[in-house]
Structure 1
Amino acid sequence: MVEDVRIDILVIGAGLAGLRALHTFRAQGFGVQVLEASDEIGGVWNFNRYPGARCDVESFDYSYRFSEELEQEWRWSERYAKQPEILRYINHVADRFDLRRDVSLNTRVRSAVLDPATSRWRIEAEDGRAWSAQRFVMAVGQLSMPKATTYPGQDTFAGQVLYSARWPREPVALEGKRVAIIGTGSSGVQMTPIIAAQAEHLTVFQRTANYSIPAANAPVSDAEDAAVKANYRARREAARNSPSGLGFAPDPRSAAEVDPDERERAFEAAWNRLGFGFALTFKDILLNQAANDIASAFVQRKIGEQIEDPVLREKLVPQGFPFGTRRPSVDGGYFATFNRPNVSLVDISETPIERFTPTGLRTTAGDLPFDVVIYATGFDVFTGSILKIDIVGRDGQTLGDAWAGGPASYLGIGVHGFPNLFFVGGPGSPSLLSNVILSSEEQIDWLAALFDSARQQGVEEIEATEAAQSDWVDHVNARAHETLYMKTPSYYVGAEMPGKPRVFMPYSGGVRGYRRILEKAAAQGYDGFDLRGGEAIRAAS
């Protein structure tokens, strides 16, 4: 029998967060092992290779801040980098900092079980290999568990079925083909203009019209690159001290109180530059219904102006929910694509898809022929990638059972009953309401300081207290109810999956506010965590 490999810290996931965790923990002298299910690093940017895949945060900000040398040497080509460029960046970082030697690829984790006698975690892969770790960190991402969407009869379809979140690495020939895209979230919005230019005919199946803001993408000039790099520290600090991690603060006035002409100019400038940051043009767009109505009307008007056909315009302009309460997409000509003669829209709220046929899809209105059907139907967000692993904590309780009523954590980092288990970007943290890479780096640096202090004090077990977890869940919910997010069924509240608990998943208190909470907890000896097995950190702080 092969003995378990003993390690200080085991990290699951070799995406941007997992690789940052590896670099940071290893620099402190910890033994670190990263397990990755794929045969390549990169996380979401390894899997999402669909045409048009692109980040919706500016490249200069969607990058690591831990190395000034890295910042200076890497040259972004566009304001919003495409998937291949981001993946090249991730691979460059892995090579530059010699990260690959501590990453085990093709290693899909099956289970993680706490040993109550030692407070160590036994993590077992599907191939039978196992590790014993003192600290267990999940950096599995929020958008890494695709929905297992299928329709009846799919196995009878003679054409090709593709998933945006598991796009083939080899080129997919779409020229001259009849293509269907099911879903109009970010993936569908991004790929639609690209595929429309290739396909003989493209049909987009939409359930809910969504807001989308122009990316205003452009090449990064040498002058812009030099200007950013000359002032990168200040840019990073501005991002860390902004609500969203995007580096700018909203106008402190209410959108409802500003002079209409001035407000129009502000909206126009934001429309042409800020991407989904448009929601922060004024401080209360996501807080006040009257302010949101004004912003929504502007966006609806701008979308409508791009669509020539009045019937299509009625279907494509979003209605019935506040702007920004579903994460807006950032697009490159999505709405104008429907002016093309080879593009059609099917509203599946009116004519639902019933099944596949050997030649295409059958809706309640009839059969439609296709050569390729693409699912762009999204993910089981926040918890799906965590709960697919059988995680067993104290007294044999599984994390799935502990979260049966919705995810509960302290700071989005630790869970009571599961000592020495930690999340990066977990539910209860800013995650998808922020620049994710910035928020991940904040949490990783905070965890690194916690682990180092625990090592110095001989602390073996770190566990969120029941009281702290309960208070944090209440705080997350209270902040969410100060916003308009609760008015809309979205993945923020678990509405993307049938049967999923309807609770607000991320933390809406902002990047700056969250960081201050982390700093306060650390200054108070990591208040909210029980620290056992040695001199308590609080006594030394």
Structure 2
Amino acid sequence: MADREFDAIIIGAGFSGLYMLHKLRGLGFSAQVIEAADDVGGTWYWNRYPGARCDIESFEYSYSFDEDLQQEWEWSERYAAQPEILRYLQHVAERFDLRRDIEFETRVLAAHWDEGSARWTVTTDTGKSYTAPYCITGLGCLSSFNRPDIPGLDSFAGEVYSTGQWPHQGVDFTGKKVAVIGTGSSAIQSTPVIAAEADRLTIFQRTPNYVVPAQNHPTDREFVGQLKQSYGEFREAQRRSLLGAARVLPQTPKTVLSIPEDEFQAEMEQRWAMGGLVGFMASHLDSGTDRDANERIAEFVRGKIREKVADPDTAELLTPRSYPIATKRLCVDIGYYETFNRDNVELVDLNATPIDTIEPQGVRTSDKLYEADALVLATGFDAMTGSLNRIDIRGRGGEKLREKWAEGPHTHLGLMSAGFPNLFMITGPQSPSVGSNMVVSIEQHVDWIADLLVHLRERGAGQVEPLPESQKEWGEHVDVLFNMSLHPQANTWYLGANVPGKPRVFTVYIGGVHAYRNVCDEVAESGYPGFAIDGEAKSNTVDFEGHVLRLMPAELQAA
């Protein structure tokens, strides 16, 4: 017997869960949010490592659903740091009185579908259980820390920290020898801060990243004042953009290799001066599909690394050459490369001297022992599916989601999975999610889910799930786009390559936020083809590729 019953159970109180709760309340649905932390924030509650901040501009990485909220909130920096983003989400929770429907310090253990009652039963580590017709996950794509399997890790005598589970009281590295394992986004943001405190900092790198400058600065009040006068137009431009961001240098309407050298250099310098990842992720028509074109852009960034890092050998170690630029999500830095000019910082190339073991005194590679008082694990996340697979989710006939996804996730639109009725995944695998401005994608998913629930209520229907054939067709579409791009030439966490034993499956829709939104809109407007509602199936009639092609420049269509 469940402790409480609702119309919907929402798992997670980050950007996704908070807006989902607010949206459902406004539509007359009862909802309960279950959150493992003791407050709201999601990703921005847990990730408190030094230097943590967003890589999308603050006023783009924020809610658009309430005009008063947009007008009243003031961001202090172009790229907000973690504490400010957390304060923003706390403000949202207070402003809309959301905490009264959130069960904090409660971790979901299982969610099981009961075919007889057509309800989900969600059980938790507190012993409480909840039931509802609808279960909605807002778990975040980067919320399950990937603890590395390094021999001897538990034997380390000093302090061990992970960037994804940083102590809330902070850490003082003053006078200490610190070892950082990893050079992904969290390491790129944290190492400049740690280096300024530590007596000695050793950074262990397996694969260097392309890093572009944030060009962070205090908020330009004049710009924000103008923005707030036309926020509606700005938000619509976000929704109809490729990556969910509006204030960027637009994609150049030329192919990279057709641009004269002086013109190309001038344009790239302009992009570099503006900063931010979005202007580089899709800068030219062919930057993501032609390796020679991509290499020209990559070499520009490599030149910047050589300019910033004084020692040529260290600069070369920090220079990516094994994969195309932007096939991993670009990292944005504030002083990362300059950190390697400090006398107290050393870079260790794990390709030349891999880690053999962690010893009580430090990190031993095939070459030597690097002594350390503190160890920082900046080893990323079990992305996209990790958080979902850690919950015992069982659908029709007791089928386990983690078993169904043993060879990779299968979804329709990145929103639902066949065999799991009324289970919705906000920014789930095979949606734009981490390949976009997450807040834009979150709002789009929440609105779409809410519209579908209203549709079901109005027709007196109780269940919805995708058809297996539609799910298969969507997966093939995601793969077609993947194979058209340069992404297959990189081992990334988009593919699960950072987690040993995880199947290599591309989990991000890269057709564009605008194309994806158009697909979802057509599905809704056409009465949800590709889904079964109370067993009544309506085969997919939406041309997925057509939506992408209509937005693709003629030059690429011809290619």
Residue of structure 1 equivalent to 2:122 = 123
Q: Are the equivalent residues in 2 in contact too, given 1:476–1:508 (CA < 8 A)?
A: yes
Residue of structure 1 equivalent to 2:203 = 204
Q: 2:337 is aligned with what amino acid?
A: F
Q: Deviations over 1:330-372 (max 9, x none)?
A: 0001111101101000111111122222221211111111111
Distance 1:154 1:289, change over 3 A: closer
One of 283, 287, 301 as aligned partner of 2:285: 283
CA distance in 1, matches of 2:154, 2:537: 61
Residue of structure 2 equivalent to 1:108 = 107
> What secondary structure does 1:486 align onto?
helix
Residue of structure 1 equivalent to 2:73 = 74
> What secondary structure does 1:18 align onto?
helix
One of 503, 506, 513 as aligned partner of 1:504: 506
Please tell me whether residue 151 in structure 1 is matched to residue 150 in structure 2: yes
Residue of structure 1 equivalent to 2:329 = 327
CA distance in 1, matches of 2:253, 2:460: 47
Give the deviation of 1:156 after TM superposition.
3.0
Q: Deviations over 1:41-87 (max 9, x none)?
A: 10110011011001000000000000110010000000000000000
Distance 1:381 1:231, change over 3 A: same
Q: 1:155 is aligned with what amino acid?
A: D
Q: Are the equivalent residues in 2 in contact too, given 1:459–1:534 (CA < 8 A)?
A: no
Please tell me whether residue 260 in structure 1 is matched to residue 266 in structure 2: no
Please tell me whether residue 379 in structure 1 is matched to residue 381 in structure 2: yes
Give the deviation of 1:518 after TM superposition.
0.4
Q: 1:270 is aligned with what amino acid?
A: R
Give matches, 1:472-483, under 5 Å: 472-483=474-485
> What secondary structure does 2:494 align onto?
helix
Please tell me whether residue 436 in structure 1 is matched to residue 435 in structure 2: no
Residue of structure 2 equivalent to 1:193 = 192
CA distance in 2, matches of 1:460, 1:214: 50
Give the deviation of 1:533 after TM superposition.
7.4
Q: Deviations over 1:283-341 (max 9, x none)?
A: 22112112101111111111111111111111111112100111111000111110110
User: What TM-score comes out, normalization by structure 2 length?
Assistant: 0.94
CA distance in 1, matches of 2:476, 2:152: 45
Q: Are the equivalent residues in 1 in contact too, given 2:482–2:506 (CA < 8 A)?
A: yes
CA distance in 2, matches of 1:274, 1:518: 32
Residue of structure 1 equivalent to 2:131 = 132
Give the deviation of 1:150 after TM superposition.
4.6
Give the deviation of 1:453 after TM superposition.
1.0
Q: 1:484 is aligned with what amino acid?
A: L
CA distance in 1, matches of 2:227, 2:187: 32
> What secondary structure does 1:272 align onto?
helix
Q: Deviations over 1:502-525 (max 9, x none)?
A: 111010101000000000000110
CA distance in 1, matches of 2:498, 2:301: 24
One of 376, 399, 420 as aligned partner of 2:401: 399
Give the deviation of 1:534 after TM superposition.
9.5
Give the deviation of 1:266 after TM superposition.
1.4
Residue of structure 2 equivalent to 1:213 = 212
CA distance in 2, matches of 1:269, 1:485: 26
Give the deviation of 1:224 after TM superposition.
2.1
Residue of structure 2 equivalent to 1:228 = 227
Residue of structure 1 equivalent to 2:469 = 467
Residue of structure 1 equivalent to 2:241 = 242
> What secondary structure does 2:7 align onto?
strand
> What secondary structure does 2:485 align onto?
coil
Distance 1:165 1:123, change over 3 A: same
CA distance in 2, matches of 1:528, 1:273: 42
CA distance in 2, matches of 1:533, 1:433: 34
CA distance in 2, matches of 1:129, 1:24: 25
Residue of structure 1 equivalent to 2:271 = 270
> What secondary structure does 1:492 align onto?
coil
Give the deviation of 1:398 after TM superposition.
0.4
CA distance in 1, matches of 2:462, 2:317: 58
CA distance in 1, matches of 2:319, 2:495: 23
> What secondary structure does 2:424 align onto?
strand
Residue of structure 1 equivalent to 2:30 = 31
Q: Are the equivalent residues in 2 in contact too, given 1:459–1:533 (CA < 8 A)?
A: no
Quick one: percent identity of the two aligned structures? 44
Which one is further off, 158-167 or 148-157?
148-157
Give matches, 1:9-20, under 5 Å: 9-20=8-19
Q: Are the equivalent residues in 1 in contact too, given 2:133–2:422 (CA < 8 A)?
A: yes
Give the deviation of 1:261 after TM superposition.
1.6
Give the deviation of 1:181 after TM superposition.
0.8
> What secondary structure does 1:90 align onto?
helix
Number of residue-to-residue matches in the alignment: 536
Q: Please list every run of 5 or more consecutive structure 1 residues that lacks an aligned counterpart in the other structure.
A: none
CA distance in 2, matches of 1:535, 1:473: 19
Give the deviation of 1:426 after TM superposition.
0.4
Residue of structure 1 equivalent to 2:554 = none
CA distance in 1, matches of 2:143, 2:270: 34
Q: Are the equivalent residues in 1 in contact too, given 2:2–2:121 (CA < 8 A)?
A: no
Q: Are the equivalent residues in 1 in contact too, given 2:408–2:505 (CA < 8 A)?
A: yes
Residue of structure 2 equivalent to 1:517 = 519
Residue of structure 2 equivalent to 1:365 = 367
Give the deviation of 1:26 after TM superposition.
1.0
Which one is further off, 384-393 or 141-150?
141-150
Q: Are the equivalent residues in 2 in contact too, given 1:65–1:236 (CA < 8 A)?
A: yes
Q: 2:451 is aligned with what amino acid?
A: A
Residue of structure 1 equivalent to 2:414 = 412
Q: Are the equivalent residues in 1 in contact too, given 2:178–2:374 (CA < 8 A)?
A: yes
CA distance in 1, matches of 2:142, 2:106: 19
User: What TM-score comes out, normalization by structure 1 length?
Assistant: 0.97
> What secondary structure does 1:378 align onto?
coil
Which one is further off, 338-347 or 253-262?
253-262
Distance 1:106 1:359, change over 3 A: same
Q: 2:259 is aligned with what amino acid?
A: V
Give matches, 1:166-181, under 5 Å: 166-181=165-180
Residue of structure 1 equivalent to 2:303 = 301
Q: 2:272 is aligned with what amino acid?
A: W
